[in-house]
Amino acid sequence: MILYQDTYSEIIFWPDTGQLYLKWRCEPSESDLLRIYEKAIGFAGSTRARSLVVDNSIGFTVTIAMQRSLASLAIRQLHVVEVRKFARVTPSDVFQEIITHKVLDEINALSGKCIEVAYFHNLEEAKAWANQPTAQEERQKN
């Protein structure tokens, strides 16, 4: 079900899988990026989403300033969500992957939450990975 739609993005929630999907339609300004991520985090909390897939296959570059702002937002808001997996879909860009990985490691450390993170160039692979149990859930089964 579509929860939100504007010029920059759309946010969809699939109740059967507990997956929240944020698709970027065009490059946002920093303020629009933060506004839309704040909406996505709010929806993740209200829907009790278990995973978040962010599709940036259009390939806009998230600047260092944007990464810092997103990290700050995430640290302030992660306590309201149950998200355990975060998948990011991007065109091949090693620099963006390294920066995002470092920022998300810091978010996990500062927030006290452990969210599994993976990067993909294929949306269907990202969705499939996000629907699988976390490593911790797998260990608890055995």
pLDDT average per 10 residues of sequence, the chain (142 residues)? 97 97 96 96 96 93 84 83 90 74 72 80 95 83 72
| pTM of the predicted structure, to 2 decimals | 0.88
pLDDT the model gives residue 112: 66
The DSSP bridge partners found for residue 89 are 55, 120
pLDDT the model gives residue 64: 80
Determine contact, residues 11/21, Cβ cutoff 8 Å.
yes
pLDDT the model gives residue 65: 85
What's the CA gap between 42 and 93, in Å, rounded?
28
Determine contact, residues 78/108, Cβ cutoff 8 Å.
no
Other C-beta atoms closer than 10 Å to the C-beta of 6 total: 13
pLDDT the model gives residue 111: 67
Domains by residue range for the chain, with CATH: 2-141 (3.30.750.24)
What's the CA gap between 94 and 51, in Å, rounded?
23
Residue with tokens 């091949």: 92
What's the CA gap between 28 and 39, in Å, rounded?
14
Determine contact, residues 74/115, Cβ cutoff 8 Å.
no
CA 121 vs. chain centroid, Å, equals: 14
pLDDT the model gives residue 39: 96
Q: Is 19 helix (H, G, I), strand (E, B) or coil?
A: strand
What sign does the dihedral 18-80-26-123 (CA atoms) show? negative
